[in-house]
């Protein structure tokens, strides 16, 4: 078991106990990392505070709507004030409107397109820019985001999220290139389908789950703990030689032809 005592990380994207960000928070807490959890709006605050109280080390709790440059700045300013630099950042944030996920992709409005790309892809750039100076104080760091195979292939109703994930994966590579000389690594875990609040917003999600179960080499879907353990590997010392990478955790589904 790795020991991350003395490290500090920010995790953006916890909304409830099913959130992949929460699984990652638990995995990092279990090996001694001290955390800051952010929540998108007051609606989620109570939930996130309750979850945070179950961690071994009490986390900092900070509101952060990633569409607001001021809130992204405030999040990092709070970390700078309260902690001694930053070792890792987890970005587990995505959004697409109900219409964008249920109407034909061809009908996606400009407004829905821009909103989805802003929240799901640009936000990684905004957070990385604000977090990098805090990572400099620690001699480097690790940034991780979550993506999905819908960036490369078409899945029913994934629509504009697929475009946003393609952009997000490109953001990972360009950030990795910019930040490598500062010893800051940037990677993504591409997770197979898991029932969460966001996933429930995709009409026909259960069919996607069944398809993965039937077609994956492992003959099953994956769970949040499996994503979290891969995230921990990439965030921790085991991943020190890895950057600009999209690591797929989907029971092997992506590798199959038929
Ligand atoms: P989730 O609903 O628990 O997490 C999504 C998070 O995004 C929520 O915490 C929500 O509050 C946050 N968010 C949305 N708009 C925001 C904003 N403006 N500011 C700040 N936060 C905002 O669902 P999840 O499945 O855990 O999603 C986490 C990440 O994992 C997403 O990027 C998602 O695309 C990705 N992912 C999920 C799956 C899956 O099947 N569940 C598969 C692959 C990738």
Q: Which of 122, 158, 174, 212 is catalytic?
A: 158
Q: What is the mean pLDDT of residues 116-145?
A: 98
**Band of residue 77 on the pLDDT scale cut at 50, 70, 90:** very high
At the topology level, CATH places domain 8-255 in Rossmann fold (3.40.50)
By residue count, the chain amounts to 258
Q: Tell how far the Cα of 92 is from the centroid of ligand 1, in angstroms.
A: 5
Q: How far is the CA of 119 from the centre of ligand 1 (A)?
A: 10
Query: Is 228 a pocket residue for ligand 1 (Cβ < 6 Å)?
Result: no
C-beta 117 within 6 A of ligand 1: no
| Atom of ligand 1 lying closest to residue 192 CA | 42
Rounded distance, CA 206 to CA 245, Å? 28
Give the model confidence (pLDDT) of 205-247 as tens digits: 999 999 999 999 999 999 999 999 999 999 999 999 999 999 9
Ligand 1 centre and the CA of 194: distance in Å?
11
Q: Is 158 a catalytic residue?
A: yes
Three-state SS for the chain is CCCCCCCEEEEECCCCCCCHHHHHHHHHHHCCCEEEEEECCHHHHHHHHHHHCCCCCCCEEEECCCCCHHHHHHHHHHHHHHCCCCCEEEECCCCCCHHHHHCCHHHCCHHHHHHHHHHHHHHHHHHHHHHHHHHHCCCCEEEEEEECHHHCCCCCCCHHHHHHHHHHHHHHHHHHHHHHHHCEEEEEEEECCCCCHHHHCCCCHHHHHHHHHHHCCCCCCCCHHHHHHHHHHHHCHHHCCCCCCEEEECCCHHHCCC
Order across the sheet with 246-249: list the strands.
60-63, 34-39, 8-12, 88-91, 141-147, 184-191, 246-249
Integer Cα distance of 178 and 258 in angstroms:
38
Q: What is the pTM of this model?
A: 0.98
Summarize the confidence of residues 12-36 as an average pLDDT: 98
What is the tens place of the pLDDT at every residue in 48-73? 999 999 999 999 999 999 999 999 99
Query: Taking the domains of the chain in order of start, what are their residue ranges?
Result: 8-255
Give catalytic status of residue 122 as yes or no: no
Ligand 1 atom closest to 198 (CA): 2
């Amino acid at each position: 078991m790795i020991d991350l005592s003395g490290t500090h990380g920010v995790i953006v994207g916890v909304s409830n106990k099913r959130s992949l960000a929460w699984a990652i928070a638990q995995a990092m807490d279990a090996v001694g990392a001290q955390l800051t959890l952010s929540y998108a709006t007051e609606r989620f605050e109570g939930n996130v505070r309750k979850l945070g109280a179950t961690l071994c080390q009490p986390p900092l709790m900070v509101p952060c709507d990633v569409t607001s440059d001021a809130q992204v700045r405030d999040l990092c300013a709070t970390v700078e004030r309260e902690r001694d630099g930053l070792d890792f950042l987890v970005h587990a944030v995505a959004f697409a409107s109900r219409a964008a996920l249920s109407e034909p992709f061809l009908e996606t409005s400009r407004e829905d397109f821009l909103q989805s790309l802003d929240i799901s892809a640009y936000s990684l750039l905004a957070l990385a820019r604000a977090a990098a100076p805090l990572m400099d104080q620690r001699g480097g760091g690790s940034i991780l985001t979550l993506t999905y195979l819908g960036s490369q292939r078409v899945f029913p109703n994934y629509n504009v999220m697929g475009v946003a994930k393609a952009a997000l994966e490109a953001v990972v590579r360009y950030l990795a290139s910019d930040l490598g000389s500062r010893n800051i690594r940037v990677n993504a875990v591409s997770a197979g389908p898991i029932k969460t609040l966001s996933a429930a917003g995709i009409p026909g999600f259960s069919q996607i789950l069944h398809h993965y179960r039937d077609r994956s080499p492992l003959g099953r879907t994956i769970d949040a703990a499996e994503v979290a353990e891969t995230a921990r590997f990439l965030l921790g010392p085991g991943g020190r030689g890895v950057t600009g990478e999209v690591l797929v955790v989907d029971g092997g589904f992506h590798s199959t032809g038929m």
